[in-house]
Amino acid sequence: MALYSEKVMDHFTNPRNVGKLDDADGIGEVGNAKCGDIMKIYIKVRDGIIVDVKFNTFGCGSAIASSSMATEMIKGKPLSQALELTNKAVAEALDGLPAHKMHCSVLAEEAIRSAIKDYYDRNGIAYDKAQFPDPHDEEEHTDDD
């Protein structure tokens, strides 16, 4: 299908890291069902490293592919590095997303940040609040079609 790159279709039809972690150290959930996208990311952290990551996603093909790619990109990485992951990097790793699907990669970035914030909160680790803007601000959709 020409709508998506081969990479997107690969990560959509064979998603990596799909599932849940019952003993997760941090869980991030972003999006809302009304808008058609919800992403939930589970992380397991040891010595500041994301040793395992899983996701569940309700959404379109690019939302599932973005979740899959984003989890691949942070697995085994230090939290500091995971926090630097941008939606653009996720989209680029997928060989691009159609313009009206870029918000799916934004959701992936937000879900990861949200899971890391949850980990910090659970463990009483101090952080700069400015690093975690309220993801709900991003959900304001503008209908410009």
Partner 1 sequence: MTRTVYVDNAATTAMSDAAIAAMLPYFKETYGNPSSLHTVGQVAKEALDGARARIAALVGAKPNEIYFTSGGSEADNQAIRAAAYNGLAKGKKHIISTAFEHHAVLHTLKKLEKEGFEVTYLDVHSHGNITSEEVAAAIRPDTALVTVMYANNEVGSVLPIRRIGEVCRQRKVTFHTDAVQAVGHIPVNVVDDNIDMMSVSAHKFHGPKGVGFLYCRSGVPLKSLIEGGAQERKRRAGTENIAGICGMAAALAEAIGNMQANMAKERALRDKLIAGLSAIPHSRLNGDGKNRLPANVNMCFEGIEGESLLLLLDAKGICASSGSACTSGSLDPSHVLLALGLPHEVAHGSLRLSLSEYNTEEEIDYIIAEVPKIVEYLRNISPVWEALEKGERPHLI
The site map against partner 1 for 110-139 (x = CB under 8 A) is: ------------------------------
60 is annotated as an active-site residue: no
> What does the H/E/C string look like for 61-117?
HHHHHHHHHHHHHHCCCEHHHHHCCCHHHHHHHCCCCCHHHHHHHHHHHHHHHHHHH
CA-CA distance, 104 to 59, in Å (whole number)?
A: 9
Cβ contact 30:39 at 8 Å:
yes
Please pick, from the candidates 13, 14, 86, 123, the single residue that binds partner 1 as defined by CB under 8 A.
13
The neighbour count for residue 33, using CB atoms within 10 Å, is 9
Is 35 annotated in the active site?
Answer: yes
Contact partners, residue 132, CB within 8 Å, separation at least 6: 113, 114, 117
Shortest Å distance, C-beta 145 to partner 1: 4
Annotated catalytic residue within 27, 97, 104, 111: 104
Site residues for partner 1, 55-94, by CB under 8 A, read 55-61, 63-64
Measure CA 62 to chain center: 12
Shortest Cβ distance from residue 57 to partner 1 (Å)? 6
**Residue range at the interface with partner 1 (CB under 8 A); choices 32-40, 74-82, 83-91, 116-124:** 32-40
Count of residues that bind partner 1 according to CB under 8 A: 31
| Residues annotated catalytic, as ranges | 35, 104
Binding site for partner 1 (CB under 8 A): 1, 9, 12-13, 15, 18-20, 29, 33-40, 55-61, 63-64, 100-101, 141, 143, 145
